[in-house]
Amino acid sequence: MPDEPRVPDEPMSDAAPTELAARGTALSLALGFETLTDRACGMRAPFRADLVGDPAGGAIATGVIFALLDQTCGMAISQALRNRAAAENRALGFGGMATLDFRLDHIRAPRPGAAVVGEAECLRITGDVAVVRGWAYEDDPDDPIAAAQAAFMITQAPSASA
Amino acid sequence: MSRTGLLDAWPYARLLGVRLEGGEDGPVALLPFAPRLIGNPILPALHGGVVASFLELAALARLDAEGRRARTIDITVDYLRPAGPVATYAEARVLKLGRRAANLAVEAWQEDRARPVAALRGHFMILG
């Protein structure tokens, strides 16, 4: 596995290369996202006054939840690519990924003053397209705040010689 | 008597630095570039979550300009091109303004209005 992800030949979007997504981006650091170690692909957005959306509600902004789930979806794909490479006993010849589309349904408002957890799982990688879903909650995964469904393009497929 | 706009009132909008700017055909939303908005340092490119947040805030600000307070029901963001480390603009159109919900379409671009970097479609609950 290479130490540093390679630059995609034809970068199309904004998603981070695999290891970068796991380490955190400038944005996720600026927003204070913490990577969860007790589950596969999870991050927590701590409650902070400057992350509030509508001040009348006092809860974390819907846009923060979008960024949180975008980040965890990227992490889930990175992990799926690593698992696939390991299963096929070859190096991870992976450059990056680009979000094609990302849908977020807001099921209910987050509780005012509460931190939000985002989790994601990669459903399938077919060819160069990864389908992934994510969900957000405060304490109980069975009481979700929001649900995401997204498709990503793998921007540099593993080469046969890798 | 001027009332404070949504982009000034929402802490997350202020954190991102989103504001309205006068355009040829009315106000457009502006997201000035800042290094903390980066999602991919190699390209470099804005974080997908920032682009989505910006589009969503542009939609909410558009409804706010019509005196409607709203809450996001769902949004879908299509990513069309990399969003580079420069200023991003967005224009929101109200496709349907109902009594209970509104449907909006928002397009974002950077240097060239004819080459959008992302597009949003979404439903918003009208609160008042």
DSSP secondary structure of chain B: -PPPPHHHH-HHHHHHT-EEEEETTEEEEEE---GGGEEETTTTEE-HHHHHHHHHHHHHHHHHHTT--EEEEEEEEEE-S---SS-EEEEEEEEEE-SSEEEEEEEEESS-TTSEEEEEEEEEEE--
Beta-sheet pairing, A97-106 with B116-126:
unpaired
Q: pLDDT: is A96 or A11 the higher one?
A: A96
Sort out which chain A residues have CB atoms less than 8 A from B72's CB and list them.
62, 106
Q: Tens digits of per-residue pLDDT, B22-65? A: 877 778 999 999 999 998 888 899 999 999 999 999 999 999 99
Contact A135, A67 (CB under 8 A): no
Best mutation target among B12, B55, B106 (most A Cβ atoms within 10 Å) is B12
The chain B residue lying nearest A149, using CA atoms, is B76
ipTM tops 0.90: yes
CA B70 vs. chain centroid, Å, equals: 14
Option in A26, A96, A100 nearest B36 (CB): A26
CA dihedral A38, A61, A122, A141 (to 10 degrees): 50
Taking an 8 Å cut-off on Cβ atoms, the answer to whether A26 and B47 are in contact is yes
Domain ranges across chain B: 6-126
**Domains by residue range for chain A, with CATH:** 18-154 (3.10.129.10)
Sort out which chain B residues have CB atoms less than 8 A from A7's CB and list them.
42-43
Q: A60: which DSSP letter?
A: B
Taking an 8 Å cut-off on Cβ atoms, the answer to whether B79 and A13 are in contact is yes
Q: Look over chain B and give the mean of its residue pLDDT values, rounded to a whole number.
A: 93
CATH class of B6-126: alpha beta
CA dihedral A89, A90, A95, A101 (to 10 degrees): -30
Contact B118, B51 (CB under 8 A): yes
pTM: 0.88
Q: State the burial class of residue B98 (Cβ atoms within 10 Å of its Cβ: 0-12, 13-18, 19+).
A: exposed
Q: Tens digits of per-residue pLDDT, A28-65? A: 888 999 888 877 799 999 999 999 999 999 999 999 99
Instruction: Report the gap between the CA of B103 and the closest CA in chain A (Å).
Output: 14
What is the rounded CA–CA span in Å between residue A90 and residue A107? 41
Residue type, A82: R
Name beta bridge partners: A98. Answer: A153
Q: State the burial class of residue A113 (Cβ atoms within 10 Å of its Cβ: 0-12, 13-18, 19+).
A: exposed
Sort out which chain B residues have CB atoms less than 8 A from A70's CB and list them.
39, 47-49, 52
Furthest-apart CA pair in chain B: how many Å? 47
How many A×B Cβ pairs under 8 Å?
154
| List of E strands, chain A | 34-35, 42-45, 97-106, 116-126, 129-137, 146-154
Sort out which chain B residues have CB atoms less than 8 A from A9's CB and list them.
none
Contact B90, B83 (CB under 8 A): no
How many beta carbons lie within 10 A of that of residue A65, not counting itself?
Answer: 27
| pLDDT greater than 60 at residue A8 | no
Q: Which of A14-18, A140-144, B34-38, B99-103 is predicted least confidently? A: A14-18
